[in-house]
Amino acid sequence: MDKHPVDPRRRRVYEASIRTVDLFVYAVVFFGGVALVVLPFNRAVDVLVGYELLVVMWATFLLGGGLVGFVGRLSRYWMVETPATVAAAFGALIYAVILGQYALTSLATFFTEVFVIVAFAFLVRRWLELQIFSSEPTGDWRSRVALAWHRRTQNVVRRETA
């Protein structure tokens, strides 16, 4: 890789594509929350009868995590994206568990279940990537947080050659 580095233009295209996919996943999670609030599917309501507060919590995870994650990724302020990714992933996981009971009842439910699992996987991937951004080997906790609030991610990862 060091002997044959990727063309910088090509790398920018790849990294911009990754960012676009991340934005798409956050938008899907957000609209999943909108659908849950506006058009709750009857089976989920039936499963959670007596636990309606869980539906509110579930929708909050999807709406808040999706929206804040989207805005964080769009603005490149990753600090707000970290907790949003966790919330969105929990919302998607709850969706997968609830919907999983009915995944084989219809083709639409099966593809929705697969789509939710793929979104969850992308959210986990993004969370792991954010852990790299948040690791600072030097300084105390306050200085690391201050640096993190001012740092923005770019589409391009800088590479220094030795």
What residue ranges do the domains of the chain occupy? 8-150
pTM for the complete prediction? 0.75
Instruction: State pLDDT tens for residues 23-64.
Output: 999 999 999 888 888 876 666 666 677 777 777 888 899 999
Residues of the chain short of pLDDT 50, as ranges, are 1, 162
CA proximity to 98, closest of 149, 50, 142, 42: 42
Dig out the tokens for 47 from the structure. Answer: 């499963």
| Inter-residue long-range contacts of 112-115, CB under 8 Å, 24+ positions, other chains counted | 115/28
